[in-house]
Chain A
């Protein structure tokens, strides 16, 4: 009985290994190539980097995850003894875990002060690695290309329920919102609407950008909002107060709907974590992965903003 069981187990394992042994080849190839390219680009850094060793666990925001994931792969290619694990789970989870000491880095879409109590939030050190901007999007059949702040507020508070009252066709408005706990929604409400909104009956709420995009694209009269990296032809991007949501407009402060992506550490980071965070804000990542993934480099910003939303040049 035991024999046959072992047999089944072995079979499963062999199959798995066979499947992945192949994966390993292609993996190594691409890794090798990237590593080569990076160390060439990085030049002098090679010496100090090779001494680093240790492991880093970064947990949190699913919006920031792709960037950290991508950057960590390159960082590990340059520092073969460092292992970085990047976890999703949401900004709340990230802040909980970094504050509780389970994670080294907590990724968050919002300032820690907005989620945590003052005590634990005070222990965390903020590292702003990128900026993410959001734009209102509508179904492609809605022939509207600009919405004022007032119109948006009226739409999202349910005062306008038909597009004809906002200068569009005679069609009912369908709101595709985010859950009230979402960092994306907090940013949109704070900087685009300037007011908190309630969840309206009949409004649809989805937590994921992919689903929001799918639903806005398919549902007649739909309106929602997406980070710039998710925009494509399946939805129509509208201007905000006449300003187009472009990287330049965000950087020079004319387009206000944006937020920092934060990587929090508890107290000052240790050597390895610090090296990785430095790498995140280095030109290599800021001009490479950050731009490629549709974020806006933090160092390009000509304006700064604090927790309370005060903007300084």
Chain B
């Protein structure tokens, strides 16, 4: 066999495998969307679920997912930014820094179920937050934090050294330099990464089963006082997210249309994640344009 034939065969094989991935992907998406999209309607997205009757929706679950995401991000973003900035700007190379870097790496590869169990033990039982949005948000923070740290580090590393030095030479403090010069430049990378990480939060179920719980108490959407127990904004109420809801109706659903609801909810979940990906790309491009244009 000549080298040319071998080359052709190898190229064909590689293209073939790449094609398989596209096929798997298309099949997967097609399967979920074809089964689910037909069930999506405005009513389905907004009405409350039914225990035994047909026609239940996923309104509270959708709200819970989004609210949990916001809560998680409120905790994760400042912490992650701070820790990431420390790692890239303040940490002195040495054993301690290496150790912290190792820790971040370990934390990022922890199985979500272990994080969930830790949440059950510490946030739910020891701290007494109970099964609540807050416990869930804390658990999600635990495994989103390392991701956020890495994203911030990457973003900071992308800032041209000259710009940083110029600012320091002008007599600005290091913190001011970081805040006003470096962060804006690093922003496109950080924001894109954050939105992608948010998509991950949206689909997480294993850790939430043990922390945010599997029930959605009746919500009173006219009550916006975060302290009242029926208010949707109360962070200390249990909340079932969309991903957990899919898991629950697949396993214990009594409603006659449970399979359709599961399919519809799966489709909604995927479309939302898709939306996040598109948003990340769009925001990234927009910011990139903005900052490169002003320069």
Whether B214 lies near A1 (C-beta < 8 A) is no
Residue of A nearest to B53 (CB): A292
Residue of B nearest to A18 (CB): B46
From A23, A65, A208, residue with most partner B Cβ within 10 Å: A23
How far is the CB of B175 from the nearest CB of chain A, in Å?
15
The listed residue (B128, B237, B253) touching A210 by CB distance below 8 A is: B253
Whether B51 lies near A211 (C-beta < 8 A) is no
Contact flags (1/0) for A1-43 with B, using CB distance below 8 Å?
1001100110011011001111110111011000000000000
Interface size on B, as a range, is 35 or more
Is A180 at the interface (CB under 8 A from chain B)? no
Contact flags (1/0) for A65-84 with B, using CB distance below 8 Å?
11001100100100000011
Is B17 at the interface (CB under 8 A from chain A)? no
Whether B250 lies near A9 (C-beta < 8 A) is no
The listed residue (A20, A70, A211, A229) touching B46 by CB distance below 8 A is: A20
Residues in chain B near residue A229, CB distance under 8 A: 254
Question: Contacting chain A: which of B7-15, B62-70, B99-107?
Answer: B62-70
Contact flags (1/0) for A209-238 with B, using CB distance below 8 Å?
111000000000000000001100000000
The listed residue (A13, A27, A292) touching B52 by CB distance below 8 A is: A292
Whether A21 lies near B221 (C-beta < 8 A) is yes
Whether A20 lies near B252 (C-beta < 8 A) is no
Is B184 at the interface (CB under 8 A from chain A)? yes
Question: Contacting chain B: which of A85-93, A123-131, A185-193, A244-252?
Answer: A85-93
How far is the CB of B78 from the nearest CB of chain A, in Å?
11
Whether B258 lies near A210 (C-beta < 8 A) is yes
Is B215 at the interface (CB under 8 A from chain A)? yes
Is B33 at the interface (CB under 8 A from chain A)? no
Residues in chain A near residue B131, CB distance under 8 A: 59, 87, 89
Residues in chain B near residue A73, CB distance under 8 A: 218
The listed residue (A21, A69, A89, A294) touching B213 by CB distance below 8 A is: A89
Is B222 at the interface (CB under 8 A from chain A)? yes
How far is the CB of A113 from the nearest CB of chain B, in Å?
23
Complex Cα distance, B250 from A207, in Å, reads: 12
Is A62 at the interface (CB under 8 A from chain B)? yes
- Asked whether A62 and B254 contact (CB < 8 A) given A24-B221, A85-B217, the answer is no
Whether A88 lies near B214 (C-beta < 8 A) is yes
Number of interface residues, chain A, beta carbon within 8 A = 50
How far is the CB of B48 from the nearest CB of chain A, in Å?
6
Residues in chain A near residue B232, CB distance under 8 A: 20
How far is the CB of A11 from the nearest CB of chain B, in Å?
9
Complex Cα distance, B229 from A63, in Å, reads: 25
Complex Cα distance, B214 from A86, in Å, reads: 9
Complex Cα distance, B46 from A16, in Å, reads: 10
Complex Cα distance, B238 from A206, in Å, reads: 26
- Asked whether A27 and B219 contact (CB < 8 A) given A89-B131, A89-B213, the answer is yes
Complex Cα distance, B46 from A118, in Å, reads: 47
Taking CB atoms and an 8 Å cut-off, the chain B residues in 181-232 that contact chain A are 183-184, 187, 191, 213-215, 217-222, 229-230, 232
Contact flags (1/0) for B242-280 with A, using CB distance below 8 Å?
000000111111100010000000000000000000000
Taking CB atoms and an 8 Å cut-off, the chain B residues in 67-84 that contact chain A are 67, 69-70, 73, 77
Whether B250 lies near A89 (C-beta < 8 A) is no
Complex Cα distance, B190 from A8, in Å, reads: 14
Residue of A nearest to B219 (CB): A27
Whether A1 lies near B215 (C-beta < 8 A) is no
Complex Cα distance, B248 from A89, in Å, reads: 11
Complex Cα distance, B255 from A230, in Å, reads: 10
Residue of A nearest to B221 (CB): A24
Whether B254 lies near A9 (C-beta < 8 A) is no
Is A143 at the interface (CB under 8 A from chain B)? no
Taking CB atoms and an 8 Å cut-off, the chain A residues in 81-137 that contact chain B are 83-89, 100, 102
How far is the CB of B295 from the nearest CB of chain A, in Å?
16
Residues in chain B near residue A24, CB distance under 8 A: 219-222
Whether B128 lies near A293 (C-beta < 8 A) is no
Is B158 at the interface (CB under 8 A from chain A)? no
Is A55 at the interface (CB under 8 A from chain B)? yes
Is A57 at the interface (CB under 8 A from chain B)? yes
From B59, B66, B218, B248, residue with most partner A Cβ within 10 Å: B218
Whether A12 lies near B251 (C-beta < 8 A) is no
Complex Cα distance, B68 from A214, in Å, reads: 32
Complex Cα distance, B212 from A85, in Å, reads: 12
- Asked whether A16 and B221 contact (CB < 8 A) given A9-B70, A23-B48, the answer is no
Whether A16 lies near B66 (C-beta < 8 A) is yes
Residues in chain B near residue A65, CB distance under 8 A: 214-215, 252
Residue of A nearest to B131 (CB): A87
How far is the CB of A93 from the nearest CB of chain B, in Å?
9
Whether A230 lies near B254 (C-beta < 8 A) is yes
Residue of A nearest to B42 (CB): A22
The listed residue (A4, A16, A19, A62) touching B252 by CB distance below 8 A is: A62
Additional A-B contacts beyond A20-B46, A31-B218, A89-B213 (8; CB < 8 A): A4-B187, A4-B287, A12-B66, A16-B67, A22-B42, A24-B219, A86-B217, A210-B253
Q: Can you list 6 A-B contacts (CB < 8 A)?
A: A23-B47, A23-B57, A24-B221, A31-B218, A55-B229, A87-B238
Residues of A whose CB lies within 8 Å of any CB of B are 1, 4-5, 8-9, 12-13, 15-16, 19-24, 26-28, 30-31, 55, 57, 59, 62-63, 65-66, 69-70, 73, 76, 83-89, 100, 102, 207-211, 229-230, 292-294
Identify the 10 closest CB pairs spanning chains A and B, nearest first: A208-B251, A24-B221, A23-B59, A83-B229, A23-B46, A88-B214, A16-B66, A22-B46, A20-B63, A210-B251
